[in-house]
Amino acid sequence: MKKKREIRNNVLKEITEKSGRRGTQLDCCTQCLRRTEVSFRRFRNSLSEHFHQLWLWHKTLKIIGGEFGTSVLSYFIFLKWLLSFNIFSFLINFSFITVPQFIAAEPNNLSFTGLELLTGAGYFQQTVLYYGFYTNATISKTENGASYNMQLAYIFTVGIYFVICLLILLFSMAKSFCRNFISPQTYSGNASKLLCTWDFNVTNEKAVKLKQKNLSTQVKEGLTDVHKEVQNFSVTERLVHILLHLGAWAASLGIAVAACSGVYFLSINNLEVRTDFAACFWRRIFPHGLQLLVLFLCRNIILKISIIGILCYYWLDIVAESKSQCWETLIGQDIYRLILVDFIFCLLGSFFGEFLRRIIGTTVCVSLGVPEFDIARNVLDLIYAQTLTWIGILFSPLLPGIQMISFFIVFYTKKVSLMKNCQPPRQVWRAAQMTTFFMFLLFFPSLIGVLSVIAVTVWRLKPSEECGPFRGLSSMFAAVSEWIKILENYTGSKWVVWIYNNLITSELFFFILSIIFLIITYLYWQIIEGRKTMVKLLRNQIVNVSSSFSFILFKVWLPC
């Protein structure tokens, strides 16, 4: 606190200098210096103030948090976080790949009709939007001037972006796990949660009253549960429960298989169809509840992973091996269309799921009531869209820009729909742990899957002969190996060649690295086990000490 007071006093001094006049008599030079110092500090302060105002959507997030609480707010914060990934990708792709390409651009002979915005083909095929347009030449503005190797720029920009993404996700996820999962037992008492659940973010009067009402309902339900300890289900009821669950699983797996084969055959015939209507429909049939939420998440994730898996298999095995002219651009166009369809269905989902549902819930079938904002479904949609974008970066470098625009529109649509159509959530939604889980989903099936797809594309597939920056090479990675071969002739860069030969292409190095990581992980795991035992022992000690103290107090000391 003392340090904060010091900072605060400095700030106050600066504010005073901003507004007040100093009455001290100084000579001309010092006065001049003092004035420039003050104006520079004023400028720096106003800049930091502006950055504070420019915090994207700061006011909007405050209003959403004020009315709907932390759980719904976590969705919008997640959306903002994903948007930052796309903005970063778009900026580096645009600066390092697209701008040099503009200098060496070939003329576009195709005509622009409006249909290209929907199909991604046509006029757009000969623009910087797709891989096929980029040159494989070394661009130089003047003869013997500085040259820019497009092949290396392309592969390094995309590669470094993914490495940075991986590191950012890894560290955020680790920090989140550390903060939210430190206790070995998660929920060991419902009543004591009461003291920790009040959401100070909620500032709207109606929302506060609603929250208080929900809390009192929960408390009353919790108290009645105390009285009936065990719910005795009869054997037939339990059997029916199990059969229902099995039926739901079989049905969703069946739908997943049907959807995947449908996607596969339709892709071969070049038609795009969205197949998770069934998943959304399935969600409406089953009511809320934590267990059912987990089941819904699992089913939805399995469906989405299988669809993306089938699509990747189709692209990498069939499209890439076909003798079409520019298979990378074809894949890029496919992904563009998928992202567009996903965006449209997201907006439609908002329209049907929230707007129409509210109309139905308030006029036709009043018992249904106003809908709540479905956080899980919306976050999974975001993760799906981001996965598609990441797969598409290699084939269409400006795709993150399109996804950026799409996320902006989705943010405002969801916000307006939320304010007008939804009510604050009634059930407890463990926002911190769910956000960690969603970050983990973004890391494990999503980013790792994308990295595997990109790795297969870069190392195994043969780039097309006639278009793109890697035309004529045996694989995209061959550009790097050829560059290393050129570097071998320069004595100054021998260290780069050494690193390449002994660290990057050497299997022994990665094998040894993996063994070391496994050993360190095992050691940490054993340390954690030891600490868990220690915590248990210490807790028992506290209880023992306090009970022996109260025994001594009441039985021995007080009666005397």
Partner 1 sequence: LRGLNNLLFYRYRDLAPQLVPLDYTDKPDVTLPYELIGSMPELKDNPFRQRIAEVFSEDGDGNMTLDDFLDMFSVLSEMAPRDLKAYYAFKIYDFNNDDYICKSDLEKTVNKLTRNELTPEEVRLVCEKVIYEADLDNDGKLSLEDFQHMIIRAPDFLSTFHIRI
The neighbouring-strand residues paired with 149 are: 138
Q: What distance in Å separates the CA atoms of residue 510 and residue 505, rounded to the nearest whole number?
A: 9
Structure tokens at 95: 């600066």
> Residue 181 or residue 444: which is nearer to partner 1 going by CB?
181
Asked whether 398 and 98 are in contact (CB, 8 A), the reply is yes
Minimum distance, C-beta of residue 206 to partner 1, in the bound complex (Å): 9
Query: For 401-463, what is the HEC assignment?
Result: HHHHHHHHHHHHHHHHHHHHHCECCCCCCCHHHHHHHHHHHHHHHHHHHHHHHHHHHHHHCCC
Q: Which is nearer to partner 1, 215 or 302 (CB)?
A: 215
Q: How far is the CB of 17 from partner 1 (least distance, A)?
A: 9
Instruction: Report in angstroms how near the CB of residue 531 gets to partner 1 at its nearest.
Output: 14
Other beta carbons less than 10 A from residue 281's beta carbon: 10
Q: Where along the sequence are the contacts to partner 1 (CB under 8 A)?
A: 1, 4-5, 7-8, 11-13, 15-16, 19-20, 45, 48-49, 51-52, 58, 61-62, 65, 70, 74, 179-183, 185-189, 191-205, 208-209, 212-213, 215-216, 219-220, 222-223, 226, 430-433, 539, 542-543, 545-547, 550
CB 447 within 8 A of CB 455: no
Q: How far is the CB of 134 from partner 1 (least distance, A)?
A: 41
Q: Is the Cβ of residue 198 or residue 352 nearer to partner 1 in the bound state?
A: 198
Supply angle C-alpha 131, 380, 179, rounded to 5.
110
471 neighbors 412 (Cβ within 8 angstroms): no
**Closest approach of Cβ 377 to partner 1, in Å?**
21
Residue closer to partner 1 (CB basis): 407 or 429: 429
Determine the Cα–Cα distance for residues 178 and 72; give it in Å rounded to an integer.
Answer: 22
Nearer to partner 1, 189 or 287 (CB): 189
**Looking at beta carbons only, is 211 or 304 nearer to partner 1?**
211
Give least dist CB 199 to partner 1, A.
Answer: 5
Min dist. Cβ of residue 539 to partner 1 (A):
7
Residue 15, token pair as written in the block? 């504010």
- C-alpha–C-alpha distance, residues 336 and 529, integer Å: 48
Q: Which is nearer to partner 1, 136 or 433 (CB)?
A: 433
Rounded to whole angstroms, the maximal C-alpha distance in the chain is 105
Neighbour-count burial for 493-512, b at 16+ CB within 10 Å, e otherwise = eeeebeebeeeeeeeeeeee
Give the C-alpha separation, 476 to 154, whole Å. 10
Query: Cβ closer to partner 1: 21 or 323?
Result: 21
By three-state DSSP, how is residue 142 classified? coil
Give the shortest CB-515-to-partner 1 separation in angstroms.
34
Smallest gap from residue 443 Cβ to partner 1 (A): 19
Residue 76 vs 90, nearer CB to partner 1: 76
**CA 395 – CA 428 distance, rounded (Å):** 42
Which amino acid would we find at residue 358?
R
> Residue 55 Cβ, how far from partner 1 at the closest point, in Å?
10
- Between 189 and 559, whose beta carbon lies closer to partner 1? 189
Cβ contact 197:428 at 8 Å: yes
Smallest gap from residue 41 Cβ to partner 1 (A): 10
Q: From CA 331, how far away is CA 327, in angstroms rounded?
A: 6
Q: How far is the CB of 549 from partner 1 (least distance, A)?
A: 8
Nearer to partner 1, 186 or 489 (CB): 186
* Contact yes or no for 150/431 (Cβ under 8 A): no
Rg of the Cα atoms in the chain? 30
Nearest to 180 by CA among 432, 514, 392: 432
Amino acid at the residue 493: S
Element (H, E) at 123: none
Please say which residue, 191 or 504, places its beta carbon nearer to partner 1. Answer: 191
CA atoms within 13 A on the CB side of 353: 21
